[in-house]
Amino acid sequence: MSIGSNIFTWFENRWHRDDVAIMRAADHGSWLGTSVFDGARFFAGRAPDLLAHCERVNNSARALMITPTVEATEMVDIIAEGLRNYGPDDAVYIRPMYWAIHGDATAIVPDPGATGFAICLEQIPMAPADAATTLARTRFRRPVLEDSVVNAKAGCLYPNNARMLTEVRARGFGNALVTDAMGNVAESATANVFMVRDGEIFTPIANGTFLAGITRARHISNLKADGTGVHQCVLTFADFEEADEVFLTGNMSKITPVTAFEDRQYQVGPVARRLREMYWDWAATDTP
């Protein structure tokens, strides 16, 4: 089901208008879950870090033992063609994806030589500047590489995220603050997380249990260019309970302030506001 409107789909070497069918019932990706995707954004006539997102979907495919079939630079060109269907004031979610079509004799292992590919462009507004969320604890955790393909942006990982969201939403919260197997904070159910304490900025160190996002890296780079460092380190729930400011970063909304973690209340702070300004300023200079 789409969450936006005005959809265009690249499939079988051409653009189609609308949300067209791309998988068959017996495709390996349909019934065994071998699918990966990535998400980029087009807004204000720009698609920031688009090449990095296209490179990552190819890396995700390899992690699931699927052979990527489209070079990242070619993918960028295809997407640029599709974006001509939208105006400069439209906000679009850009989703390239791969899935396995066949399996081996056991059906379990994907055939690396048969790969499906599509790109979905979906018009979805950017979150308003004053959008915020709240966080709660969840009993569900991020897996490790020995348990699941945490080094890929894989569709099969998302049911676990859905359990997290369902659990905390039943308690009236907007998102979950999630730990790794050791009980250290990893990210939220949908995005990377940062906190501020005594003017210092912290984010969980990438330890292989979650994707250290492209938008996360861009924010860290922008802060560094502005003369501000970020501590990437081990963080616990107690650290977030003592924080002065908390915010999420991810491709869909870029930055989302957090106003509560369980009973702990926060104000939308100056770091989140400044980081949003820096991102939009940087995006205006990125390649169209």
Could you read off the pLDDT of 73-131 as tens digits, one per residue? 999 999 999 999 999 899 999 999 999 999 987 889 998 888 999 999 999 999 998 89
Give me 8's structure tokens.
Answer: 């265009």
pLDDT at 286 over 90: no
Domains 5-123 and 133-283 share a fold: no
Q: Tell me: domain 133-283, CATH 3.30.360.10, correct?
A: no
- Give the H/E segment covering residue 280: helix 270-283
Residue corresponding to tokens 């390239």: 96
Average pLDDT along the chain: 95
**Residues facing residue 121 across a β-bridge:** 8, 94
- Res 4: pLDDT: 73
17-60 tens-digit pLDDT: 999 999 999 999 999 999 999 999 999 999 999 999 999 999 99
Residues 137-151: what's their mean pLDDT?
A: 95
- Res 124: pLDDT: 96
- Res 129: pLDDT: 86
Please, what is the angle between helix 270-283 and helix 214-225, to 10°?
Answer: 100
Q: Looking at per-residue confidence, does 4 or 270 come out higher?
A: 270
Our CA angle for 24, 29, 33, nearest 5°, is 135
pLDDT at 204 over 70: yes
- Res 3: pLDDT: 73
Phi, psi values for residue 42, rounded to 5°: -120, 125
| Protein fold of 5-123 | D-amino Acid Aminotransferase; Chain A, domain 1 (3.30.470)
Domain boundaries, the chain: 5-123, 133-283
Give the pTM: 0.94
Question: Rounded to an integer, what distance in angstroms lies between the CA atom of residue 255 and that of residue 280?
Answer: 11
Residues comprising the chain, all counted: 288
Q: What confidence tier does 206 reach under pLDDT thresholds 50, 70, 90?
A: very high
